[in-house]
Amino acid sequence: MNCTNYRILVLALASISAGFAGCGEDGLPSVPGPGDDPVTRALAESCGINVECDANAIVEGDVAVSGVASIDAFFGAVASFDAKAGNVSAGIEAELAAIRADFGIAADADFEAAISTQITANVEGSLSIEAEPARCSADVSATLDAQARCEGMVEPGSVMVACEGSCEVEASADVSCSAEADLKCTVTAPSVECEGTCQGSCEATLEVAASCSGTCRGSCDGECSAYANGEGGMAECAGTCDGMCEGSCETEVAGEATCEGTCKGECTVTNPEAGCEGGIRAECEGKANAMVMCEGRCEGEVTPPMASVECDASVKAEAKMNVECTPPRVAINYKLKAVAGAELEAQARFVAAVENLKVRLPALLASIKRAELVAEAGAGLSGSAVAAIDAGKTAAADLVASGNLRVAFGLACAVQTAAAVPGIITESTGELTGQINASASVLAGLGM
């Protein structure tokens, strides 16, 4: 049998057209299965065409539904969202469980109340936590690859994407940015005189007595938590000072902060005259939310070049879902109470839990940020489902007219498959939201 003869094409087109006749309550086309017509089913099966639609195709990872790159790329993005949402949710849940276990707080206990009790019992005054925002960046090359899979090609000559935020560039002496962006150069060393912002610790000289919220090295006119031998073998303060300190004060800084002294960690300078030779990181940051063209990694909103309606949504979603989030720096400052007897063991457990928190909290903050971006990707996909199916309807007519019966049936099946998209996104988004909300109570208990 000739599987592209006129009779088959007419019957197939009639079957698909009938399927596009109505719309469901969710706004998506409401259609029967592409093989519901017995004559069309028999003809298609004789050509080896699968006329059965698998309602669970997306969640099972089978996204080659229609045979059209742009439509199947959309389904691929939905499947990726479902998988990524599950992984991120599980990661947050694991970090929260570990933090609770470290402090000996049961899963069903009120974390805020329990941690408040422990802090009151073990800390003199309060426990403060400073954290810089988690940084997440999208790989431009991966974004272009996603567009290539969807479009079948990328606009000739386009090797960059528009980035609303900052774009990573090569750190070198001759690096420069466009007029719409500032160059941010980051250097690191055991200690540097920092003329920009510091991340790590900042040591300032105190020629006159002043308060010190970090480690005081020198004289302390109050109680000092630890002493060390200074010049001439004389004991001097080398810990926290509850009075006035004279000598030097070293304070942890989690986020980018001005350092009027020596920075131990990373120092970031804006628009340095000598470029960024010897720097560990350089980036062009758009001024006043300006877009910068980027070919490295983009920290911000990615706009792919010349994407079609259906591809624009899936490519932007893939960019948000495949970001890398760097755990931020966290500084935890507190002073232990003087305790004795059985309280010493409890305090030791508390200190160990706080030390673990210095590792777990950055990982949690990075996962929360990634969860927010994945949720945004899901919202974008949900809002573009109708446009993707409309594009499929247009493609179906063209492909049927050209004699591609297999793809024509695939597109009709894609209409059915798309009906599952809102439910998949809603369920996975619900998991993400639940874990983000659970994190909020833990962060609130920690004073964040």
How many other C-beta atoms lie within 10 A of the C-beta of residue 368?
Answer: 21
DSSP3 helix / strand / coil % (the chain, rounded to 5): 45, 25, 30
Question: Residue 159: what pLDDT?
Answer: 60
Over residues 100-110, the pLDDT tens digits come to 999 999 999 99
Q: Which residues of the chain have pLDDT under 70?
A: 1-52, 55, 152-159, 189-192, 254-256, 306-310, 388-389, 391-393, 395-405, 407-408
Distance CA 98, CA 264 (A): 30
Question: Residue 362: what pLDDT?
Answer: 93
CA neighbours within 13 Å on the CB side: how many for 428? 28
250 - beta bridge partners? 203, 215
Question: Residue 121: what pLDDT?
Answer: 92
Question: Residue 39: what pLDDT?
Answer: 60
Task: Identify the residue whose tokens are 């009120």.
Answer: 110
Distance CA 279, CA 292 (A): 21
**For 233, which DSSP code?**
G
For 194, the 3-state DSSP assignment is coil
Over residues 120-137, the pLDDT tens digits come to 999 888 888 888 888 898
Question: Residue 11: what pLDDT?
Answer: 45
Distance CA 411, CA 416 (A): 9
Question: Residue 400: what pLDDT?
Answer: 56
